[in-house]
Chain A
Amino acid sequence: MEVVQLQRSFVECMASLFREGLLDAQFSQLQQLQDDSNPDFVVEVVSLFFEDSERLLNDLTMALDQPNVDFKQVDAHVHQLKGSSSSVGAQRVKNCCVLFRNCCEEQNTEACLQCLQQIKQEHLLVKNKLQTLFELEQQIVAAGGAIPMVQ
């Protein structure tokens, strides 16, 4: 019933994350790393990622807001974000970072701002979806159900 529905929603959410390319195989790796000694591993890692990436996005916004943009600095931030996003498998965010770095190389502020916009959108998208996923997970557990294995 409810559990079943929850489980179905969970499965669907997970599948779409992968299908739409928001997440890649790295996320599966994280799931595989999770075990009884660390039952909340994935949630913890993802939380860490979002904390860190939000800070980076803020830094990026500020850096691009300067009258004289320091592209080296911007590039450094983007590089960090790229590394971070690769840790959780946030594929689309990572891909945006690649494009972003090209804009930095060209020292094109306008293009950089656009890239930043895009990254923020992708970031928000994957964040929301993952939040939904984790909530479903919690609800399933609360309802006494088992978390379905996806993939």
Chain B
Amino acid sequence: MMENGKNSAGFSSPRTDTFPAGLRVLVVDDDPTWLKILEKMLKKCSYEVTTCGLAREALYLLRERKDGFDIVISDVNMPDMDGFKLLEHVGLEMDLPVIMMSVDGETSRVMKGVQHGACDYLLKPIRMKELRNIWQHVLRKKMQEARDIGNHELDQYDEVWMLNGAEILSGKKRKDFENKHDEKEMSDSRCVDSSSMKKARVIWTIELHQKFVKAVNQIGFDKVGPKKILDLMGVPWLTRENVASHLQKYRLYLTRLQKEDEVKGSFCGMKHPDVSCKETSSSLSLQNPVDVCTDVTKDKHGGVSEDKAIVHNGKVKGVVSMPTAEPRSVVEDNFDSQTAGSKIGLNDSFGLINTDVKSATVPTPYCSTGEAPQLQYKQDFQPHFQSENGLSHQPLPVLSHQIPVDRTPATRILNHVPSREERDKHPNTEPKPSFFKSKSEGAGKFSPVESTVNLFQPVSHHQQTNFHTLEQMPSTTWSATSHNVVNVPQSSARNLTLGSGSIVASLGGDMCGASIQGECFPANNGLWNIEQFDYNDPHPISGVPTCLYDTLRFDYEYPIDSLDGIVMDQGLFIV
């Protein structure tokens, strides 16, 4: 029975300010008696309750009403699906907190629950007070997300939640909460006045981002700091906080790239923490005459060193295009011999590719997240943008095909630079480095080759529905679900993306590249021209979906997905 209050759209109305009242709970239990009791108990807590007798029904509801629920409570034993499986699905697809219940309190079961991602495990018979406290899980998760994404993406409701939730915790705690999030630009909305929740957001346009990247590179990635960057950027209206949070996202993004690289390193499937990827990265990007960092020792061998996966016949099919930042990122050298001399198009969307940055995480166009919450990755993906590798090790999971870049649907790949031929074949997918280049003519370093796949959206419909501000970008090109992308194993793809730590750097509306989510792919040409970020050669960025930066909570996974996609294209990655 649906007990949710519905607004005209048929969806539950967002949480009210009388936190935690109105918390939207989905209860799943095959026992009709318990379902009735739980419903009653939750209603007594002033929550909005929806009940389900079957796990499949629950999944259906969750998918249908994205962002329609705040938390899921599910029994462990159900006839149609194991409760743990449901737990995994919810965590991956919807990224909602899930509480498990059972009459069985055996430690091994409880442990299993926790391992599968449950945020709590309640023993039946369940007491009212246990249910009264479930809002804390929701709040906690939101706080984590805010931290991860620098709080850019929180929509006003989330902010209300966080603030009100924080208030409830304690007055003092709220101060701490506020202080803690100072850097994250929470200050603007810190006032509990929810009417002023929406804070003015800095739109990180491509130009602005390029200035940022330039500044970062000038200072030296290792020595970078918000104040220094701000000073160099010379943008009067920008605050230190703005820069700080952008930097954080950037770092996350790079780290993620790095991780993905490492992961993809082996092409064999993810677990190769071999960042120095030689293999894939080199293979990937060589097509583009990106200026590869001078450091790059071209290993002409390219190849995939151990990872092998790199597809293709020697050509760099997918180039992990690193924006040729000036400091040429360390594109490593493993470039394929063919590409010898070719510039590695590292999309240094963040301008990161510096010579200084050796193992820098290749900035994926989509995310300027700072320290990528790698934790989210189930697999150890390294951002493949490893400057060293040059081409980035594509996120592992998918390495199955050698498809030339153009073929890969949407793999957004930041690192993926279609080979010239591919490009020829698919004019549409010209490897344009960086997104910002709308006219991709260049090797699309990160051009999502077919850009049909929304690499960052493993599941298009599941996409972070909870990212309120996420702009679904014209992701026509990118919105393909992950399956388009590649044989990324759904679960792995999910793992990645659904991680809660979406790094997504919400860099601002215009920044397409930054969006980790990949949603930002310029729909127009579907190319991720990460190279756009090459501030040495700024290109007008056209058609960069503003949503790139808006994607808030890109799960970590997104980039991974895209990477996967990239990989696939290049056939470098073996799923």
Our pick among A30, A45, A52, A79 for the contact of B103 (Cβ within 8 Å) is A79
Q: Does A123 contact B (CB under 8 A)?
A: no
- Stretch in contact with the other chain, from B123-131, B265-273, B498-506, B534-542: B123-131
**Residue among A49, A79, A87 with the most chain B CB within 10 A?**
A87
**Residue among A29, A33, A83, A86 with the most chain B CB within 10 A?**
A83
Contact A87/B127 with A79-B77, A80-B77, A82-B103 known, Cβ cut-off 8 Å: no
| Distance from B270 Cβ to chain A, minimum over Cβ atoms (Å) | 35
Query: A36-81: which have CB < 8 Å to B?
Result: 38, 41, 44-45, 48-49, 52, 76, 79-80
| Distance from A9 Cβ to chain B, minimum over Cβ atoms (Å) | 27
Interface pair A88/B104, CB less than 8 Å apart: no
Our pick among B34, B41, B124 for the contact of A33 (Cβ within 8 Å) is B41
Q: Does A84 contact B (CB under 8 A)?
A: yes
Residues of A within 8 A of B44 (CB): 33
Our pick among B31, B41, B104, B128 for the contact of A84 (Cβ within 8 Å) is B31
Interface pair B124/A86, CB less than 8 Å apart: yes
Interface pair A89/B125, CB less than 8 Å apart: yes
* Complex CA distance for A49 and B36, rounded to whole angstroms: 10
Q: Does B32 contact A (CB under 8 A)?
A: yes
Interface pair A83/B31, CB less than 8 Å apart: yes
**Residue among B30, B31, B33, B128 with the most chain A CB within 10 A?**
B33
| Distance from B46 Cβ to chain A, minimum over Cβ atoms (Å) | 13
Query: A88-136: which have CB < 8 Å to B?
Result: 88-89
Contact A87/B34 with A29-B125, A33-B40 known, Cβ cut-off 8 Å: yes
Q: Does more than half of chain A's interface fall in helix, strand or loop, or is it mixed?
A: helix
A: number of interface residues (CB 8 Å): 21
| Distance from B191 Cβ to chain A, minimum over Cβ atoms (Å) | 37
* Complex CA distance for A82 and B104, rounded to whole angstroms: 9
Contact A45/B36 with A83-B103, A83-B124, A86-B103 known, Cβ cut-off 8 Å: yes
Q: Does B37 contact A (CB under 8 A)?
A: yes
| Distance from A107 Cβ to chain B, minimum over Cβ atoms (Å) | 19
Interface pair B125/A45, CB less than 8 Å apart: no
Contact A87/B33 with A33-B44, A38-B40 known, Cβ cut-off 8 Å: yes
Residues of A within 8 A of B77 (CB): 76, 79-80, 83
Residues of B within 8 A of A49 (CB): 33
Q: Does A26 contact B (CB under 8 A)?
A: yes
Interface pair B32/A26, CB less than 8 Å apart: no
Contact A33/B31 with A79-B103, A83-B103 known, Cβ cut-off 8 Å: no
| Distance from B364 Cβ to chain A, minimum over Cβ atoms (Å) | 47
* Complex CA distance for A84 and B37, rounded to whole angstroms: 11
| Distance from B112 Cβ to chain A, minimum over Cβ atoms (Å) | 15
* Complex CA distance for A89 and B126, rounded to whole angstroms: 11
| Distance from B34 Cβ to chain A, minimum over Cβ atoms (Å) | 5
* Complex CA distance for A145 and B368, rounded to whole angstroms: 71
Residues of A within 8 A of B36 (CB): 44-45, 48
* Complex CA distance for A94 and B31, rounded to whole angstroms: 15
| Distance from A27 Cβ to chain B, minimum over Cβ atoms (Å) | 10
When C-beta atoms are compared, the residue in chain B nearest to A33 turns out to be: B40
Interface pair A33/B37, CB less than 8 Å apart: yes
| Distance from A102 Cβ to chain B, minimum over Cβ atoms (Å) | 13
Residues of A within 8 A of B31 (CB): 52, 80, 83-84, 87
* Complex CA distance for A111 and B63, rounded to whole angstroms: 46
> Hey, what's the 0/1 contact readout for A6-43 against B, CB within 8 Å counting as 1?
00000000000000000000100110010000100100
Our pick among B34, B40, B128 for the contact of A83 (Cβ within 8 Å) is B34
Residues of B within 8 A of A41 (CB): 40
Contact A52/B33 with A33-B41, A80-B77, A83-B103 known, Cβ cut-off 8 Å: yes
* Complex CA distance for A89 and B103, rounded to whole angstroms: 12
* Complex CA distance for A115 and B30, rounded to whole angstroms: 24
**Residue among B32, B34, B125 with the most chain A CB within 10 A?**
B125
When C-beta atoms are compared, the residue in chain A nearest to B75 turns out to be: A83
| Distance from A134 Cβ to chain B, minimum over Cβ atoms (Å) | 16
Residues of A within 8 A of B125 (CB): 26, 29, 86-87, 89
* Complex CA distance for A87 and B37, rounded to whole angstroms: 8
Given contacts A29-B128, A87-B33, A88-B33, 4 further A-B contacts (CB under 8 A): A29-B127, A44-B36, A79-B103, A82-B103
When A and B form their complex, which 3 residue pairs have the shortest distance between CB atoms, in order from nearest? A83-B103, A87-B33, A26-B125
Query: Would you mind naming 23 contact pairs between A and B with Cβ atoms under 8 Å apart?
Result: A29-B125, A29-B128, A33-B37, A33-B44, A38-B40, A41-B40, A45-B33, A48-B33, A52-B32, A79-B77, A80-B30, A83-B31, A83-B34, A83-B75, A84-B33, A84-B34, A86-B103, A86-B125, A87-B31, A87-B33, A87-B37, A87-B125, A88-B33
Which A residues contact B (CB, under 8 angstroms)? 26, 29-30, 33, 38, 41, 44-45, 48-49, 52, 76, 79-80, 82-84, 86-89
